[in-house]
A and B are shown apart, each in its own frame.
Chain A
C-alpha cells in the first residue's frame, strides 16, 4: 500500500520538476496551426516540420553556429579548468601547498556571484580583442569550472596511495613525471568526471554568453532566446520549442549517461564547500 503511495508521489514529483521540458518536447512536435488550436499536452498530428525549420540556416538565426560555439566554448572551459587544477591539486595534496588559504579561497569562489567580475572582464576583453570570440568565452567558463574541478581532483588524489609516489621517486622520477605517469592515469575517472561536469556547467552558462558575445561566438543558451523574437508576427512556438530541445539535449544526454558520477561529485563539492 505504502509502496504504491510512494510511486504516486514519485510520479507527481517527476512530472512537476520535468514539466517545462515535457511541454516543450510536446510542442516541438506540433504544427504551427495545432499550437494555436490545441495548446494541451496531447498531440493530434505529430510533425517534424519544426525541426526541419530549425535546421534551415538563415542570416539571423543559425543553430549550427550556436551549437558549434557552445561546443567549442564548453570544451575549452572544461579542458583548461582541469589542465590548471590537476597540477595544483597534486601540489596541494602531496606538497601540502595552500591548504590554509589557497584551497578555501578557490573553493569559496563558487559562492561568489560572478556578476561582480563581469564588468571588468568585459573591459579587459575589449582591450585585448577577446569580445565575441569562442576562446574568450571559454576562458571565462574555465574560471567558473575551476573550483569544483579542484575539489574533485583533490579528493581523488588524496585517495591514491603515497607508496606509488615514493616508488616512482626512488626510481628517480620528478614530481611532474609522477603527476603525468602515475597520478593522472590512476585518477582518470575523476578527471573524466570533472571534464564532463565542467562541460555541462559551461554549456548551460548564460550570463557571460549574454555579456561577452554578440554574433560570431553566441552560445546556444543566448541564441535560443532570439527564436522568440525572430518573426514579425509573434513567436513561432513550435520552432522555438524545437530549438530549446536541440540546445538542451547535449548536456542532458551526458548527464543521463553519467548521472552516478555526477551525483557523487555534487556531493563532494557540497561537503567541501
Chain B
C-alpha cells in the first residue's frame, strides 16, 4: 500500500508539474497574466517561508526556527551569498536549540 501511495503521489505530482510546460511553453501570455505569473512565486515563496518557520502541522508555533530565519534575514540585508544565508539559518537554529530555546 505504501508503494501504491507513493506511485499516486509521484504520478499526480508529475501531472501537476507538466501542465505548464506542455500547455503553455513558449506562449506569450497576455500582459496582465504575465505580470501575475511573475508575482505568483513571490506570494507563494513568502507563504512557504512563513509556514515553515512558524507552523507545525496545523498549529502556529514559535520556536528556534524563527530565530534562525530572522538571523538569515539579517544576513540577507548584508547581501550575504545564498550558502551563508542558509548556514546562518540552520546554525542559529541549532545553537538556539542547544541553549534550550524551542
Q: Do A and B bind each other?
A: no
B interface residues, Cβ below 8 angstroms from A: none
